[in-house]
Structure 1
């Protein structure tokens, strides 16, 4: 699984949620959310599912279509 942090960040901004709010909603700290969005780390599957639910997305919406999308 290659988590698409850019998609996560874009959706979070569209919903006017802060990184802190997302972190609280999924039981992670602010820095973890920053790291997921910037592609520094990949969230565990359980956390990725929670992020998708919080943002009103399907998990597949947060999976990068190819490896280059993750690194970009």
Structure 2
């Protein structure tokens, strides 16, 4: 049932900083990795994730301490 519910969620959690992101209009875009789509609050978060997805997927959102966007 959780998988079904996820299809209708309108927000996602940025795996880099932990912010909630609107799936329909993610400010940082999205990135597909191993069959999953990840959404980002800023281009910098997407760039960091794309260079090392395993780092961020091991502990999603934990890297947001001191996180600032320009």
User: Do these two structures clear the TM 0.5 threshold for a shared fold by scoring above it?
Assistant: no
Structure with the largest fraction of helix? 1
Structure with the largest fraction of strand? 2
Q: Which of the two has higher C-alpha Rg?
A: 2
If asked which structure has higher relative contact order (CA below 8 Å, sep 6+), I would say: 1
